[in-house]
Amino acid sequence: ALVANKPKATADKVTRKDILKQLAIEEGQTYISSFDRPNLSLSVLPGRKRIQQIQDFILTQKNNSGIIYCLSRKATESVSESLRKAGFKAECYHAGRDAATRSRVQEAFIKDDIQKELMQAKLDRMKQYAEADICRRRILLSYFNEDVEQDCGNCDVCKNPRSKFNATVLAQKALSAIARTKEKVAMGALIDVLRGSRNQNTLKHQYDKLPTFGVGRDVRGEEWADYISQFLNSGIIDIAYDEAHVLKLNAASWQVLKGERQVEIAKFISLNERKAREEELVPKEKPKQQIIKDALFERLRQLRKSLADSLNIAPYLIFTDATLSEMAQTRPISEAQMKAVSGIGSEKFRRFGDVFMKEIITFAKENTATGTRVAKGFTYVQTYELYKDGLGIDEIAEQRQLNPTTIVSHL
């Protein structure tokens, strides 16, 4: 019998090396396939009003489920609690929870018919990724040491590209400095060498004697930091996380050094200009009517699901999403109003009209404040319900703070 041990993982070069070491098979053969997932669209937004941004995004994913990754256990618990208070089904999952709870949460998630490809990677380069100005898919593939020269065209950077320039000469200067320092410097020290900084570290290692010392003094330090980050993200430089983050050369690096490969990167943008652009991306608060519509749509969708389950039929056979959306927009509370909604005829109204109108009326009661109107004609319904409770016209007028003549017109 042939027994094959084939551990599998989504891992970068450092992690792959560590896996082999932990398994005591450091000379073992590794087989690497592509990490590219063209069906995934990648975007980064400024971290302002985070919970509101998360809620807004979830509302665009009706009937879907997903995972929100957080940087700490505390953040995991805080985010899930905030989402639950906002009416979403959310649970936190981290190593600090007991095994039974983790198992329950995982089972609940799986039962929600989740079949997605989820990326789990180290977060060491999160800041670089968030601030990147090149194709985000190329950044991810570069992290896993996969060389891709073409942009994906499907991430926020590709859809809104910054102007680029040919940075081959700059890249050659940086790569040459890495080579001449024998791949033993991290980004900060590399910038010092390129700009010719005679500090204690460069003098100690005699980097000031190198031919590349000071070849990039015409470029500001913050610009070099931006450009080197882009070189990293584009895959022409590697970073050794297990060696104090020193920079390393790879096959693509030598192609650039030999003039066999051109390098294009985005032009440098100052911090102030970047912040101004981020401000433009901060989501604007939704109008009150839109908030009401979204909340009512979800109520109606839950009602539809409950009815469908009880009748053992598909939800769309009751009302389609388009019909529910229009219902949430117009908020009908009478037969005439309900039948004016697209997709609701006499038969649909006979079977389901009353129960949906009652739900809309209940929602209106919960959300109508002085000076607001959630549903057209709701004020008549309020008057009529008081009348059915046995109150006289004057009593209704006093309770509703309206003129008795208005109450008569309502009735």
| Domain boundaries along the sequence of the chain | 126-281, 288-376
Spatial distance between the Cα atoms of 170 and 265, rounded to a whole number of angstroms: 10
pLDDT band at 282 (very low <50, low <70, confident <90, very high): low
For helices 73-85 and 50-59, angle between their N-to-C axes, nearest 10 degrees: 60
Q: What is the mean pLDDT of residues 140-155?
A: 77
Q: Any alpha helices (H) in 249-317, and if so which ranges?
A: 251-257, 271-281, 288-311
DSSP state of 264: E
Q: What residue ranges in 168-252 does DSSP mark as E strands?
A: 238-240, 246-248
What single string gives the DSSP state of each residue in 74-142?
Answer: HHHHHHHHHHHHTT-------TTS-HHHHHHHHHHHHTTT----------TTHHHHHH--S-HHHHHHH
Q: Is 285 exposed, middle or buried (0-12, 13-18, 19+ CB in 10 A)?
A: exposed
- Sorted by sequence, the CB contacts under 8 Å of residue 51 that are 6+ apart come out as 79, 82, 83, 86
Least confident of 123-132, 241-250, 316-325: 123-132
**Which CATH code fits 288-376?**
1.10.150.80
pLDDT band at 27 (very low <50, low <70, confident <90, very high): confident
pLDDT of residue 351: 93
- Sorted by sequence, the CB contacts under 8 Å of residue 150 that are 6+ apart come out as none
**Strand (E) or helix (H) holding 54:** helix 50-59
Per-residue pLDDT for 8 more than 60? no
Local structure of 215: helix, strand or coil: coil
pTM: 0.45
Q: Please, what is the average pLDDT of the chain?
A: 82
Comparing C-alpha atoms, which of 135, 230, 243 is closest to residue 174?
230
Q: What is the mean pLDDT of residues 402-406?
A: 84
pLDDT of residue 255: 95
Length reported for the chain:
411
Tokens of 367: 């959300």
**Strand (E) or helix (H) holding 29:** none
Per-residue pLDDT for 40 more than 60? yes
Q: Which residue, chain included where needed, has tokens 């927009």? A: 329
The amino acid sitting at 148 is V
Q: Which residue, chain included where needed, has tokens 């600090």? A: 96
87-97 pLDDT, tens digit each: 888 888 887 88
Tokens of 105: 């949460």
pLDDT of residue 117: 34
CATH fold label, 126-281: Arc Repressor Mutant, subunit A (1.10.10)
Comparing C-alpha atoms, which of 236, 266, 256 is closest to residue 166?
266
Percentage of the residues of the chain whose pLDDT score is greater than 90: 30
Phi, psi of 365 (to 5 degrees): -60, -40
Per-residue pLDDT for 116 more than 60? no
pLDDT of residue 300: 92
290-304 pLDDT, tens digit each: 666 788 889 999 999
204-216 pLDDT, tens digit each: 999 999 999 999 9
Q: What is the mean pLDDT of residues 60-66?
A: 77
